Structure 1
Amino acid sequence: MFGIVRPCSHRLGEHLKAQWMAHLCGLCLALRGDHGQFARVVTNYDGLLISVLTEAQTAGDGGKSGKSGGRRTAGPCPLRGMRTASVARGEGARLAAAVSLVLASAKVRDHVADGDGLLARRPVALAARRVADSWGRAGARTGADVGFDTAVLVD
């Protein structure tokens, strides 16, 4: 189920809002970097939480592991009003990308199996199934790269 986690922007201070956006943009850029432009459509707040939690767990090592990734400055983006921003990078963003891809793949497969809306039409269902299979394989590859078996998400 997607869409459970939502930021409460009127309760977040400027610092926490900037941190949240850094992880959101980092997830989107990790998806684009590893899987291409189209994969960015699976960017979601639920996957973003993986990046936040991973960074919180690895931040305490003083950067010794080299996996936390830290921040980098991203170029202008239309969704940020063409402004640059500090964004999350590293293993947390890649893990979030893998999880987002695998869960989106499962969601699309579920909609195809149910014959929801346009997915009741055979040509559309075939195309959606191919996209879902591609996302599932891509997420599994990235998950394996960061040491996570994505099979636990769909079993």
Structure 2
Amino acid sequence: MFGVVRPCRHVLCGGLFEDWLAHLCGLCLTLRREHGQAARLVTNYDGLLVSVLVEAQRPEVSPRRKAGPCALRGLRGARVVSARSEGARLAAAASLLLAAGRVRDHVADGDGVYARRLVAAAAGRLADRWDGAGARTGAAVGFDAGVLREAVARQPVLEAAGGAGLLELTEPTETAVAAVFAHTAVLAGREGNAGALAEAGRFFGRIAHLVDAVEDLPDDLASGAYNPLVATGTHVGEARRLCEEAHHGLRLALADVRMEDRRLARALLDREVRRSIDRVFNAYPPGGHVPQGPYPPQG
């Protein structure tokens, strides 16, 4: 997944920051426990949303435990989500599978250091390990890794073919996130939530893909790397409109999800997503065009 949800202590009030940190540290420690220290590299802010959604629907299935001091917590201990939690394990599986796909995408595009043969070969082996690890952990919680693999594999094919519209390019991400979000309902024993969560996942995936594209735009233009806004000739203002509509749809979908404690899920998927959209797009003037880059407008 991407980096849309990046809260800090002064934004998450009350005990919500500690709850968020419990899920972040729980994801990191679950990756270490099941796949070794190197797997902790795929820990990301958006991945922990999976663990948050499971707990929001049924808190008792996400036990906490005491963790020792960590440098990233200022050498303090903390109460974290246990690696026994199926939500944390699903978050770990999704993070590994999606990270493997992104590394392979960078290798295929020859981005930056990935253009070097030895780096590309090492990155490819690492991606294979992460992919296998994610599939094993996903299977342990009943999740079919094939859904994510197929979606991730379809992304570079769409980009290479040319002629796709912007929402066609975001579709693989939407499909992948929808599948993971829907499976949180299965783990929580709330199967009736699966449809609404899949819809929420599709909207969140769209936002994540577009926010990532806008954040990467200056670097992509400078390096000549692929960027979906440049490839489709999409205005930054149009990308913002699509994000605004997706955020509205995300809020409506979440309102249909039965949760026992929705405070953290709402803070992250509503307020923090809203803040991220504003943060990224406010750097551009309203209605601004994407500068001409290495990929001509298509369609």
When normalised by structure 2's length, the TM-score is 0.48
- The residue aligned with 1:142 is 137
User: Which is richer in strand?
Assistant: 1
- Note the aligned Cα RMSD (angstroms): 1.2
Query: 2:46 aligns to what SS in structure 1?
Result: helix
Alignment-derived partner of residue 20 in structure 2: 20
SS in 1 for 2:7: coil
Equivalence map 1:87-126=2 (5 Å): 87-89=80-82, 90-126=85-121
Counterpart mapping for 1:5-16 below 5 A: 5-7=5-7, 9-16=9-16
Kindly provide the amino acid, as one letter, of the partner of residue 95 in structure 1.
L
1:152 pairs with 2:116: no
Q: Find the aligned partners of 2:38 and 2:14 in 1 and give their Cα distance.
A: 30
Which whole-Å CA distance do the structure 2 matches of 1:29 and 1:14 have between them? Answer: 24
> What per-residue deviation string (whole Å, max 9, x for no partner) do you get for residues 54-87 of structure 1?
111222xxx4xxxx13100001101111111000
- Does the 8 Å contact 2:100/2:127 carry over to 1? yes
Give the structure 2 partner of residue 58 of structure 1: 58
Does structure 1 retain, via aligned residues, the 8 Å contact 2:8–2:17?
Answer: no
For structure 1, the residue ranges without an aligned partner over 5 or more in a row are none
Distance apart, 1:105 and its partner CA: 0.4
Give 1:81's match in structure 2, choosing from 58, 74, 81.
74
Q: Match for residue 35 of structure 1?
A: 35
**Which residue number corresponds to residue 3 of structure 1?**
3
Quick check: which has more Rg, 1 or 2? 2
Residue type at the aligned position of 1:19: D
Letter paired with 1:16: L
> 1:99, CA displacement in angstroms?
0.5
Give the Å deviation of 1:12: 1.1
Secondary structure at 1:46's aligned position in 2? coil
Letter in 2 for 1:35: H
**Distance (Å, rounded) in 2 between the aligned partners of 1:150 and 1:52:** 20
2:119 maps to a residue whose letter is: V
Encode CA deviations 1:85-112: one digit per residue, 9 max, x unaligned: 0001211111101010001000000000
Instruction: Compute the displacement of 1:8 (Å).
Output: 5.1
Moved more, 138-147 or 50-59: 50-59
Runs of 4 or more above 6 Å deviation: none
Residues 15-55 of structure 1: CA deviation (Å, up to 9, x unaligned) = 00000000000000000000000110100011110010011
**Residue 130 in structure 1 maps to residue 125 in structure 2:** yes
Cα distance in 2, alignment partners of residues 21 and 111 from structure 1? 30
The secondary structure found in structure 2 opposite 1:84 is: strand
Percent identity between the two aligned chains: 66
Q: Distance in 1 between matches of 2:66 and 2:36?
A: 20
Local SS of the residue matching 2:6? coil
Amino acid at match of 1:72: R
TM-score (norm 1): 0.91
Distance across 2 between alignment mates of 1:38 and 1:103: 16
Structure 2 letter corresponding to 1:18 = E
Q: Which runs of 5+ in 2 are unaligned?
A: 151-299
CA distance in 2, matches of 1:107, 1:9: 29
